Amino acid sequence: MRVVSWNVNGIRSAMKKDFKASIEVMDPDVLCLQETKAQDDQVLEALTGLNGYHIYTNSAVKKGYSGTAILTRMKPLSVRKDIDREEHGREGRVITLEFEDYFLLNVYTPNSGSELKRLGYRQRWDAHFLSYLKALEKKPLIVCGDLNVAHKAIDLARPRENYNKSAGYTQVEIDGMDNIARARFIDTFRYKKPDEIKYSWWSFRAGARKRNVGWRIDYVLVSPGMAGRIKKVDILNEVMGSDHCPVLLDL
């Protein structure tokens, strides 16, 4: 089974680029999209022509903001949206699909924002999200998405300059990721490639992608029981069309 996760920074914008051709080349069985920036009907319309998938969407109340979608060749037993907390139910950030022997979850974690104005909210989100993951542990989990945190210094090009100054690399956010790791969820890329430097997001400013001044903030996590099933992991940084690139897991 091939799982691909990609923050597309607007699905309608992505479809005007090489999105469809990129998906055909990657050939995922499951495709998790974040930051669709469209309402449910607009996402479905944009994805017209991607055949062979069941499509599930979760859009924000605010138009043109946030949003997630999952395309899957296997029809799930059930579909859940959000994380059972009213505080977090307006931004379309989580979709959970239940299959016979596992859950698959797609998440677009809130960004702490400029001047870290949402850091307090982000801290609550991290705690509530982890509680939600733990509540699903009756089956193994695959967790895909933009977690909006570089976990270790190896995961961003300029750790010293950004530490406790930039959203995505504050100690509060690192602690949130540490808690996920302590709950034994496996960062599949780092599990298989502990020393490889590769990024999944680059600022649009100052030619950051061309210079590879990036961050690794997009992940596929799995429960411990799935570690032995990991066949291949990769960050597909040659795939264009967004300020993020896709991340891949073969099981």
Compute φ and ψ for 158, nearest 5 degrees: -130, 70
Alpha carbon distance 17, 41 (integer Å): 20
Q: Considering the candidates 146, 155, 187, 234, report the single residue annotated as catalytic.
A: 146
Say whether 175 is catalytic.
Answer: no
Where does the chain have alpha helices with state H?
11-15, 19-26, 40-46, 119-135, 159-162, 171-182, 188-192
CA dihedral 159, 178, 219, 122 (to 10 degrees): -80
Longest Cα pair distance anywhere in the chain, in angstroms?
Answer: 47
DSSP one-letter code for 156: B
Q: Considering the candidates 108, 132, 169, 199, report the single residue annotated as catalytic.
A: 108
Query: To 10 degrees, what angle do helices 119-135 and 171-182 make?
Result: 10
Alpha carbon distance 169, 162 (integer Å): 6
Alpha carbon distance 190, 238 (integer Å): 19
Say whether 40 is catalytic.
Answer: no
Active-site amino acid positions: 108, 146
